Structures are given as C-alpha cells and as structure tokens.
Amino acid sequence: MEAGLPADRMTRVNPAPKAGIVHLGLGAFYRAHGAVYTAKAVANSGGDWGIVGVSLQSPTMRDALAPQGFAYSVLLRGAASDEAQRIEIVRDVLVAREDPQAVLEAVADPAIRIVTLTITEKGYCHAPASGALNPDHPDIVHDLSHDLPVSAPGYLVRALQMRRARGLAPFTVLSCDNLPENGPMLRGVVLDLARRIDPALADWIADEGRFPATMVDRIVPATKPEDIAGLEDLTGYHDAAPVAPEPFSQWVIEDDFVANARPDWGVAGAELVADVTPYEHMKLRMLNGTHSALAYLGYLAGHETIADAMADPEMARFVRHLWQSEIIPVLTPPPGVSLSEYAEALAARYANPAIRHRTWQIAMDGSQKLPQRILGTVAETLADGRTCPGLMLAIAAWMRYVGGVDETGQPIEVKDPLAAQLRGLSDSAETASGKVAALLSLRAVFSDALAAKLQEPVTQAYETLLAKGARVAVQEVA
C-alpha cells in the first residue's frame, strides 16, 4: 500500500464450508472465540461447519461484513506485538428484525446441527436470581401469542417446532455466554417456553434435544478506530469489522451433542469434558467476578480500563485479596488446576497494556451479571460462617454506580435493562442504609434470604465509599 492511499477493502479468499451452525448474536466475542475455534477445526479436520450468523436486532454487523464476503480479521493484542488472523468461516449474516421467517427457515434447515448463542445475560429472558424463564418479559409475552418470534428462546422453540413437524431431528443448542450452568439454564428456559406453546413439543425437546454446558474465556474489548488503523498497517487491507482480543483463549465444552455431531473442536484447542461445572465456577467467579469488582470500583476511582486499574497498586492488591481470601476458599478446582496459579495468570492478563478493556463496558448489565459473578460466592462464604468484605464492597460499588452519579458529582451513563428501575430505587432514599435496602429489595437480583444477610455489611461498605472514596475503601479492605 502506497503512503497516503486508502487501503483496499478486505475480501474473501477461500469459500466458506457448507453451513452446519447457526449462531445467534454475532458480536465481537463469538467472532473472536467460537468462530475461531470452528475455523481451526474445519481447517484441520474438515466438515460442513460453516456458520450462518444471526443478528437479532441490528443490521450493523451484516452491513459491515457483507462487502467483505463475511470474512474478517482477528487482531491479537499482545503486550509486545500484534498478530493478525484471517477468519473465513462465516457464510452469511441474517437480521431477525428484517426477516424473522428467513431466520426460522435457516435454523430449521436439516443441514444445521448446532445452534450457538452469545446473546448476553439479558437475551435469555430469564430471572437472573433463579435462572428460570421470566414469563412476563415483553419479548416472551409477544412470542407466546405470535408465530414469528422476537426473542432468542422464541426462535429456538419455533425452529424446533418446525423441525419436529417436518420429521427432522432437533439441533444441539450450545450457549457460549458467561452464565453458570448455561446449558441446563437454557434447557429450562426453552422447555418452559415450549410447554406454554405445546406440551408435546416440550416433551420431544426434553427427550431428543441436547443443551451442553460450556465455559468460555477470552478478553475481547470493543473494537476501536486505532485497532482498525493498526490492522491496516499490519496487513495492508481495510477491515471494517475486525476484533482485537487478547492472545489467551479457553473453551471447555460438555461433550453431549445430538447424534454426536460437532466440529473437531478438540484439535483446535477446546477441552471436551464430562462436567464443565468446576471450570465455569473458577472462571465466572475468579475472572468475571473480579472483572466486575474492578469495573465498578475502578470506574468510581477514575480508571478508564482494567489495565489502568491494575496499574494502581491499591487496586491490584485488592483484586489479589479477593482471589486468595474470598473467592478461592469456596472453589473446587478443576482436575490438575492450581487456583493460585490461575489467579496470577489472570493478573498478568488484566495488566496487558495492549488490551484497553473499559471499566464502563464491563459495568454494563450489572443487574444480570451480579448473581452469577459475585452473589454465589458471597452466599457460600456466609453459609460457611466467614466474611467477605471485599465482595461486599464490590456490591456497594455497583449500588453506588447504578445511582448514576460518580464521586466527583458527574453523571454516569448506566447501561442496564433495569437502569431506570435501579436509579429509581437508589433515588427513593436519602441515606446509605435506605439506598442499600431499596436496591436489595430487587428480587430479580437478590433473594429474600441473601438480602437479609447483606443489609448491614453492604451498608457499611456503601458508607465507606461515600466518606472516603473507592480507592481508600479498597486500600482498607486489602
């Protein structure tokens, strides 16, 4: 590329394999994670495992990828240097809001053997505190009275209904979101919705369908203009939709698929196991739990990114305290894994200066994330008769954050499906104790039993945040 001239647009070099997977929610994480494993599996072992992506809401991803033949780049952001990978496993991207029938036909196609999902916690239309379907969710109310759905569970149920009517086997449903027991949870949501539509359909799904659990791990910040520019410098072409993750990646999958049909993900580095639970608890609580704690406390302390927070000695000391004193004591490690070594590896990943993962981005949708990332650890710790002041402080920081005003009096743009309700609860009281009590009354997040145990310690932590600020508060805990 000559200096000063615009780079040519990236285009597809090799044809994608025939479709075998439909993916709901083709965002940055899946394109940097599951799609990469699938591309490597097909390159090594073959198979018709091309991916048809589905955007449930916006045409943005389709419009960015279509001119490139649905090829895109993965820009690995290492501390020392960058590396680019070309990914050509995606065949097409459909937009559900534009043509829901086309999405149903794609998923009902007999060639599709797996439907994967990265729709974030709120996309499952469930109650985060219990994991059960929320029948009052507006999208579920719609899907119960319309043949063309709007929710991800609705698409799954209606497509399975079509396959059953056509005498086809069901597809395997594989959640790739950071949720505890994501497979069993999704199975419960789908069966509940199906039973409300047709009990016989629910029985068929329960008998014939498969919903493996997974654990996914890769830090994938939102793509920034400098990532696109850096990729151009590295490759000489312009990619309108690259992803820029950290080099580390892990995928643990329960090996339970309809007719054993799946790509050879093992050859691509995935771990196929009988029980994902120890891996998911380790990752959700040690990585996602401390990520959320650093997001709220780091944001309040003025840190833009996780790397910035880890460069603050007090924040780094605090997160190590969380791992060693509050999280690891209630975890059972996966076979052959040292949780202390895992914590040190996480610390190094957090500190990678090339990964600009914004605290504000991680803080999004906290009402959906808190139960599985933090509250499970808190409940088990209290049941064991021990205290967890650092996690209480993290809960208090979330409460301070969703109040919508930071420590300097500036407004916070809170992105959460319950943002208005959270702000209303926070504003309903003047005192720290009153604000904590109001937010603990939110049963979508806190159970009755846990809320009663949190009132006093979270109030104390909230008062410390108000009086001394986040940085001093973490210093006192650590």
Q: Is the pLDDT of residue 468 over 80?
A: yes
Residue 315: which of 289, 297, 339 has the closest Cα? 297
Q: What is the pLDDT of residues 47-71, one digit of tens each?
A: 999 999 999 999 999 999 999 999 9
Q: Which whole number is the average pLDDT over 414-437?
A: 97
Whether the Cβ atoms of residue 34 and residue 216 lie closer than 8 Å to each other: yes
Q: How confident is the model at residue 1 (pLDDT cuts 50, 70, 90)?
A: very low
Q: Is the pLDDT of residue 260 over 70?
A: yes
pLDDT of residue 74: 97
d(CA 417, CA 13): 40
Q: For helices 339-350 and 313-321, what crossing angle results, to 10°?
A: 150
Domains of the chain as residue ranges with CATH? 8-273 (3.40.50.720), 277-477 (1.10.1040.10)
Residue 452 in tokens: 């009663």
d(CA 452, CA 450): 5
Q: Is the pLDDT of residue 2 over 70?
A: no
Q: What is the pLDDT of residues 157-211, one digit of tens each?
A: 999 999 999 999 999 999 999 998 999 999 999 999 999 999 999 999 999 999 9
Q: Is the pLDDT of residue 303 over 90?
A: yes
Q: What is the pLDDT of residues 82-131, one digit of tens each?
A: 899 999 999 999 999 999 999 999 999 999 999 999 999 999 999 988 89
Q: What angle do CA 204, 201, 149 make, to 5 degrees?
A: 130
Q: What is the pLDDT of residues 375-402, one digit of tens each?
A: 999 999 999 999 999 999 999 999 999 9
Q: Which whole number is the average pLDDT over 291-305?
A: 97
Lowest mean per-residue pLDDT among 119-123, 126-130, 289-293, 361-365: 126-130
* Phi, psi at 112, each rounded to 5°: -85, 120
pLDDT of residue 4: 53
What percent of the chain has a predicted confidence (pLDDT) above 90?
A: 95
Residue 363: which of 305, 323, 284 has the closest Cα? 305
| Residue 361 identity | Q
Q: What is the 3-state secondary structure (H, E, C) of 280-319?
A: HHHHHHHHHHHHHHHHHHHHHCCCCEHHHHHCCHHHHHHH
- Strand 237-238 and strand 8-9: the pairing is parallel
Q: Which residue has the tokens 């190590």?
A: 320
Q: Is the pLDDT of residue 17 over 60?
A: yes
pTM above 0.85, yes or no: yes
Q: What is the pLDDT of residues 221-249, one digit of tens each?
A: 999 999 999 999 999 999 999 999 999 99
Mean pLDDT, the chain, integer: 96
- Residue 339 per-residue DSSP state: H
Q: Which whole number is the average pLDDT over 277-301?
A: 96
Residue 127 in tokens: 């109650």
Q: Is the pLDDT of residue 364 over 80?
A: yes
